[in-house]
């Protein structure tokens, strides 16, 4: 949790066109992994562009508690790792706050160590399912002690003397589950294999290869990815430049599209194809997004995005695209509220188990602000109102979810009446600069 004990509401109202250039913070997925893999590898890792959000800092604290040295020096984070297989038992419970990625990946990382590790977090994290990670870990020999019924946190893991390598077919589209098993494989003799029928973000595979892990990926005739990792090999520290987070860029991007007259450039955005589903969808909706100066940045493609206000039209989003834009549906729903016609989103099962039940939170937030929508078991249809006439005027329950808070503040930037979110504190978990950055572009947000 953040330090403030009570909710901090915020209200966003219509302002003039948004303009200027923005640089969003570093990618959250890559930032977590940079501290984690740097803390594990032998030697030094230097990180620039790290997201200094609460979620990522919790991962840094966890790695420190298990023996890594992590220092913030100027623009850089300097990490001296323990060496693969050499993590120490943490003296205190690891507190992951609001961070599912930090908690689940670390469960994999420590699950095959012959030591006890206790995981705690905030109310949101404690309500999220951990069984999806614990199931493969149990197969590898990990014991789960005193979990809350339903495999929820707080819980304690106790690793085996010798872990067993497994072949695991991931039953849901989850990069966190894939990653947890691969990380467990790092401290397991032999080859651990993850089969991923539906591709998800590939940062763990790419980054582990960069740290020198023996990892290979093969795609079979059905399109399933077979990822094999050889355990107990040496990892070597390296330099990492974290690109801008496309999931954070999504907020100024959608804001610029829906606020009339806007012209905004968002610099240095990660363009990894497993992360660009929102851009693909918005382009189909008629968005004016120029992808400028595509370039390589440390093994990942980045680009600058010039975004101009656009007349959007509703589309049907292919469900197969969901893993490549899973965190962006809330803000896509906001874009859809200003589009001509219906936007149909399906295959959204995983949205139910994010920082909040995001499908329900989005639907309730839209309804509270006069946006017509219909929520199904795993689907959402939003009927747009170009110009935003009559929209807004409601208060949105954010349920400790940063992306719900930011999405509905974006709604208020273009709706006729202001939009209030009940709590803006969680924005600091992933995008601490959000208020300042949006204000510099011309948005009008008041915090109580």
**Residues at the contact surface with ligand S3P, assessed by CB under 6 A:** 29, 101, 174-176, 179, 201, 326-327, 350
Q: How far apart are CA 198 and CA 350, in angstroms?
A: 13
Q: Return d(Cα 390, Cα 364) in angstroms, integer.
A: 17
Active-site option among 122, 327, 401, 423: 327
What is the CB neighbour count within 10 angstroms for residue 66? Answer: 23
Strands 263-270 and 300-308: antiparallel
- Least separation in angstroms between CB 28 and ligand S3P: 7
> Is 122 labeled as catalytic in the residue annotation?
no
- Give residues with Cβ within 8 angstroms of 5, minimum separation 6: none
**C-alpha 2: how far from its chain's center?**
18
CA dihedral 431, 304, 18, 448 (to 10 degrees): 0
Question: Closest CB to ligand S3P among 273 and 439?
Answer: 273
Residue reference for tokens 């010039």: 306
Residue 337 sits at φ, ψ, to 5 deg, of -65, -20
3-state class (DSSP) for residue 138: helix
Q: Phi/psi of residue 306, each to 5°?
A: -100, 120
Instruction: Give the bridge partners for 226, in sequence order.
Output: 195, 218
- Tell the smallest beta-carbon distance from residue 248 to ligand S3P (Å): 11
How far is it between the farthest Cα atoms of the chain? Answer: 64
Query: Residue 235 in contact with residue 212, Cβ under 8 Å?
Result: yes
Which residues participate in catalysis according to the annotation? 327
């Amino acid at each position: 949790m953040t330090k403030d004990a009570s909710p901090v509401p915020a209200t966003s109202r219509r302002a003039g066109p948004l303009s200027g250039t923005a640089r969003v913070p570093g990618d959250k997925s890559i930032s977590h992994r940079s501290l984690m893999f740097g803390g594990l590898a032998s030697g030094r890792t230097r990180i620039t562009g790290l997201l200094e959000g609460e979620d990522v800092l919790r991962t840094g604290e966890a790695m420190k508690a298990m023996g890594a040295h992590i220092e913030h020096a100027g623009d850089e984070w300097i990490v001296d790792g323990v060496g693969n297989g050499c993590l120490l038992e943490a003296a205190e419970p690891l507190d992951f706050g609001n961070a599912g990625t930090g908690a689940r990946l670390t469960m994999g990382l420590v699950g095959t160590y012959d030591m006890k590790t206790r995981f705690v977090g905030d109310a949101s994290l404690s309500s999220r399912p951990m069984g999806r990670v614990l199931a493969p870990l149990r197969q590898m020999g990990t014991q789960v002690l005193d979990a809350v019924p339903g495999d929820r946190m707080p819980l304690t893991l106790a690793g085996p003397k010798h872990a067993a390598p497994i072949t695991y077919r991931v039953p849901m589209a989850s990069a966190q589950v894939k990653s947890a098993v691969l990380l467990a494989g790092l401290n397991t003799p032999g080859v651990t294999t993850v089969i991923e029928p539906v591709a998800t973000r590939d940062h763990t595979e790419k980054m582990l290869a960069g740290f020198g892990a023996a990892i290979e990926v093969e795609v079979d005739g059905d399109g399933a990815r077979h990822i094999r990792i050889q355990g107990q090999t040496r990892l070597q520290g390296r330099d990492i430049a974290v690109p801008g987070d496309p999931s954070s860029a999504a907020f100024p991007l959608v804001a610029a599209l829906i606020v009339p007259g806007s012209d905004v450039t968002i610099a240095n955005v990660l363009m990894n194809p497993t992360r660009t589903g929102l851009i693909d969808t918005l382009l189909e909706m008629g968005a004016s997004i120029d992808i400028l100066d595509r370039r390589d940045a440390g093994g990942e493609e980045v680009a600058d995005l010039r975004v101009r206000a656009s007349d959007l039209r509703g589309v049907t989003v292919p469900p197969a695209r969901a893993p490549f834009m899973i965190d962006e549906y809330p803000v896509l729903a906001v874009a859809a509220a200003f589009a001509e016609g219906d936007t149909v989103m399906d295959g959204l099962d995983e949205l139910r188990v994010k920082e909040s039940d995001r499908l329900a939170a989005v639907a309730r937030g839209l309804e509270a602000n006069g946006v017509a929508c219909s929520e199904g078991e795993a689907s959402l249809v939003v009927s747009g109102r170009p110009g935003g006439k009559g929209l807004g005027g409601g208060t949105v329950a954010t349920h400790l979810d940063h992306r719900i808070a930011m999405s509905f503040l974006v709604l208020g930037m273009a709706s006729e009446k202001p939009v209030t979110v009940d709590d803006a504190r969680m924005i600091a978990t992933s995008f601490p600069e959000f208020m300042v950055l949006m204000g510099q572009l011309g948005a009008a947000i008041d915090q109580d």
